[in-house]
Amino acid sequence: MIRNAKRRHIHSSVENCSAKNLWRFLHSLGFGRCRKDLPLSVDKDGLNQHFSSPPHILDPLTKALTITNIQALPIVASTPFYFTPVTESDIKKIILSIPSKAVGSDGIGRDMLLPILSSILSSITSIINFSLSSGTFPLLWKLAFMVPVPKISVPVEFKHYRPISILPFLSKVLERVVLRQFSCFLSSNNLLNPLQSGFRPSHSTCSALIKITDDLRKAVDDSQLTLLTLLDFSNAFNCVDHDILLSILRSLNISGSVAEWFSSYLSGRRQRIRVDDIESDWCDVTAGVPQGGVLSPILFSVFINTLVTVLKFTSYHLYADDLQLYVSCGPGEVLEAIDRMTADLEAVKTWTAAYGLLVNPTKTQVMFVGSRYHLARLRNGPLPPVTFDGVSLSYCNNVKNLGLHIQNNLSWELQVSEVSRKIYASMHGLKRLQNFLPYSTKVTLVNSLLLPIIDYADVCYPDLTEELLDKLDRLLNLCIRYIFGLQMRLLICLTLLGLVCGNPVQLTDNSIALQNTYDNYVLPGESFPTFYDVQLFFDPEYEASFNGTVAIRVVPRIATQEIVLHAMEMEILSIRAYSDLPSDENENLFSSYTLATDDTHLLKIQFTRVLDALQPITVEISYSAQYAPNMFGVYVSRYVENGATVSLVTSQLQPTFARRAFPCYDEPALKAVFRTTIYAPPAYNVVETNMPLRADILKYVANN
């Protein structure tokens, strides 16, 4: 009763609620960790100063020389870039496309604007067009609230926090206007490096990883070794010098008014820490692209664009501030490859010193990639190290690149193991509420928390062994079992897997008809069982029949008003059907049934309404069945012991026999978990069968 009440409460709480409220409710039940709600454990003003201060201040002379060198670069774009005015229709589309409901320092949020948008749209459009034409960014829109989110469970230092910036909503509208126009200018003039995958349409970490892993495979196929180096930039977005960035923008041939606008956008920014009712003092931001700004990613891409021009000996790929360098060589050219890598790393060091970025040598990873044969030969003798900024870099056997674990022989055991570890760790928390959450919420949890772990960068390792593929298959099956409450022994059908993964396999009328062509003996497949609770009432002295009840947990694969299962040589006494939905509480969904009298043995049950696809229901059937005259199903045996005749009720429930014992889905592909209770007269004893019994059950039987 308590479990049912809890289930109904949770169902009613999560039904038709927004995603934000859903996660908030799940957190209130103790699901997962919400670190953002932890109290601030460090000084708020000190933390604000830590967030706003650049980790590195560029020497004025070095900065002046860098700006001079930038100004000497040739202008690539033939036509200067100017802002163009926007219409009210443009602004309306942008406002409606922004999902954020956060309220910034001006106190104006999306929810406040939408009801009165038609009245103020012209004013918003005028403000934005004036900003573009005058080259000024509104001062009030430069103020940001910073929400510190702990990186670890118990933060005690400033570095243990990550800042989340909340900017005024209308500032994001203005930034999106500029982003659309500026991105179009960069694309039409091919001003961004084609090997930069960060924050660009049709690009992602996966596209970067595909490029890297494909080049590594080609080198292995050509019997070559590849020296791979992954550079770690420290706090790169906060190290961007405003003057250098503006010089780079001017070198792209932007107009004077656009340059003034970007200068206004970057300068005069302030921020404060805000956690519930706690606020720090305002603090000036003097460097870096704005935290949380819509334009920040593309501005950083422009800033780092010239870095690759100093590379002379290595191939490369960029994702935002993640730089991968690699050089391939024959087995006899390893020393030359190390020298070439070291030379390019020295060039990177010179560039970062001039532009104010920092590379952390202790977090930079180096690895040789090749076949097992060539790697074994490589280990025969000592290798000189790759050096960076005077630090010798140790060779690794595996690296983590953009979230993908790459081993030096391009096997993927570590990647699959990490995916498995994350899935099982996440499932440990999910299972606490498994029996109380509705189907739709469990699908949301699986799609949000589990499938992205399995899917991430999977295109980068299509060459998995059968053993590793089986491991991933088991993870997908685990997701299905969580949603439907299936036991480990139950086979998972492709239809279920497709439905949960977002690519459902539709059962059309033709496909259902095709399943029925086997002389109507095969079940149509619109539903399947997950659990049986069987109660059998036996009295061997009464040979005519026995009674039973079965409660079947049924999941419709498609929307249907009928389910079909098997029942043979029995009389149906009553049927009751109900679902877990609060709206169906205490409602009997059963309407009618038909039981075939021919050798198809089909029991068709109709319901009062159409059942929702994948929404489980419970069907309770009371029946009276005949003992089998042969050894098929449930039958009575007799033998003589000590001169007396002994009656023995025996079962033989292989496929097509179980339908004689109770109504069921009597096909090998539709296995499910059983709980069986047998009632018999007190004079009869329990006989141990060939199925092992738990010790506690045997003890109970002996004592009773």
With bands split at pLDDT 50, 70 and 90, how would you rate the model's confidence at 34?
Answer: low
Q: Are strands 269-275 and 278-279 parallel, antiparallel or unpaired?
A: antiparallel
- Asked if residues 684 and 587 have their Cβ atoms less than 8 Å apart, the reply is no
Could you state, in order of their start, the residue ranges of all structural domains in the chain?
2-35, 36-407, 413-501, 526-703
How far CA 174 is from CA of 120, 258, 299, in Å, comes to 15, 14, 15
- For residue 294, the 8-state DSSP code is S
With bands split at pLDDT 50, 70 and 90, how would you rate the model's confidence at 512?
Answer: very low
With bands split at pLDDT 50, 70 and 90, how would you rate the model's confidence at 73?
Answer: confident
3-state SS class at 674? strand
The confidence score (pLDDT) of residue 82 equals: 96
- Asked if residues 561 and 571 have their Cβ atoms less than 8 Å apart, the reply is no
- Report the alpha-carbon angle 330-336-341, nearest 5: 105
- Asked if residues 271 and 51 have their Cβ atoms less than 8 Å apart, the reply is yes
- Asked if residues 404 and 209 have their Cβ atoms less than 8 Å apart, the reply is yes
| Domain 526-703 of CATH type 2.60.40.1730 | yes
- Asked if residues 427 and 482 have their Cβ atoms less than 8 Å apart, the reply is yes
Largest CA distance in the chain: 115
The confidence score (pLDDT) of residue 506 equals: 38
The confidence score (pLDDT) of residue 351 equals: 96
Ranges assigned E (strand) in 200-268: 225-231
Backbone angles phi, psi at 387, to 5 degrees: -115, 150
With bands split at pLDDT 50, 70 and 90, how would you rate the model's confidence at 492?
Answer: low
Least confident range from 471-475, 488-492, 519-523, 529-533: namely: 488-492
**Tens digit of pLDDT for each residue in 536-571?**
998 877 777 899 999 999 999 888 999 999 999 899
3-state SS class at 99? coil
- Percent of the chain at pLDDT above 90? 53
CA distance 20 to 22: 5
**Tens digit of pLDDT for each residue in 378-414?**
988 789 999 998 899 999 999 999 999 999 999 999 9
With bands split at pLDDT 50, 70 and 90, how would you rate the model's confidence at 508?
Answer: very low
Backbone angles phi, psi at 203, to 5 degrees: -125, 155
Compute, in degrees rounded to 10, the torsion defined by CA atoms 371, 372, 375, 377. Answer: -110
Instruction: Give the residue among 33, 44, 47, 99 at the shortest CA–CA distance from 276.
Output: 44
Mean pLDDT of 584-608: 88
Where is pLDDT greater, at 550 or 442?
A: 550
CA distance 194 to 192: 6
- The number of angstroms, rounded, from the C-alpha of 72 to the middle of its chain's C-alpha atoms is 47
| Helices marked H in 72-168 | 88-97, 110-113, 117-134
The CB density around residue 361, as the number of other CB atoms within 10 Å, is: 16
**Cα Rg of the chain, angstroms:** 34
The confidence score (pLDDT) of residue 490 equals: 54
**Tens digit of pLDDT for each residue in 306-352?**
999 999 999 999 998 899 999 999 999 999 999 999 999 999 999 99
Mean pLDDT of 502-524: 46
**Tens digit of pLDDT for each residue in 106-157?**
999 999 999 999 999 999 999 999 999 999 999 999 999 999 988 887 888 8
**Tens digit of pLDDT for each residue in 262-291?**
999 999 999 999 888 888 999 999 889 998
The confidence score (pLDDT) of residue 429 equals: 81
The CB density around residue 558, as the number of other CB atoms within 10 Å, is: 19
- The number of angstroms, rounded, from the C-alpha of 697 to the middle of its chain's C-alpha atoms is 43
- Asked if residues 642 and 498 have their Cβ atoms less than 8 Å apart, the reply is no
Q: Identify the sign of the CA torsion 285, 288, 291, 295.
A: positive
- Report the alpha-carbon angle 197-201-207, nearest 5: 40
Whole-number average pLDDT of the chain: 86
Least confident range from 87-101, 308-322, 690-704: namely: 690-704
**Tens digit of pLDDT for each residue in 196-208?**
998 888 889 999 9
CA distance 185 to 64: 28
**Per-residue pLDDT at 68 exceeds 70:** yes
Least confident range from 113-127, 210-224, 431-445, 449-463: namely: 431-445
Hey, what amino acid is at 174?
Answer: L
| pTM of the predicted structure, to 2 decimals | 0.70
**Per-residue pLDDT at 163 exceeds 50:** yes
What would the DSSP string read from start to end of 255-277? -HHHHHHHHHHHSSEEEEEEETT
Secondary structure string (H, E, C) spanning 53-97? CCCCCCCHHHHHHHHHHHHCCCCCCCCCECCCCCCHHHHHHHHHH
- Percent of the chain at pLDDT above 70? 87
The confidence score (pLDDT) of residue 198 equals: 86
Instruction: Give the residue among 143, 186, 162, 173 at the shortest CA–CA distance from 303.
Output: 186
What would the DSSP string read from start to end of 580-645? S-GGGTT---EEEEEE-SSTT-EEEEEEEEEEPTT--EEEEEEEEEEPPSSSSEEEEEEEEETTEE
Where is pLDDT greater, at 481 or 485?
A: 481
**Helix or strand (DSSP H, E) at 145:** strand 143-150
**Tens digit of pLDDT for each residue in 631-680?**
778 888 878 888 888 778 888 777 778 898 999 998 887 888 888 888 88
Summary count for the chain: helices (H), strands (E): 21, 23
- Asked if residues 493 and 486 have their Cβ atoms less than 8 Å apart, the reply is no
With bands split at pLDDT 50, 70 and 90, how would you rate the model's confidence at 22?
Answer: confident
How far CA 52 is from CA of 264, 284, 419, in Å, comes to 18, 7, 36
How far CA 10 is from CA of 13, 449, 611, 681, in Å, comes to 5, 20, 21, 43
CA distance 144 to 283: 10
CA distance 474 to 480: 10
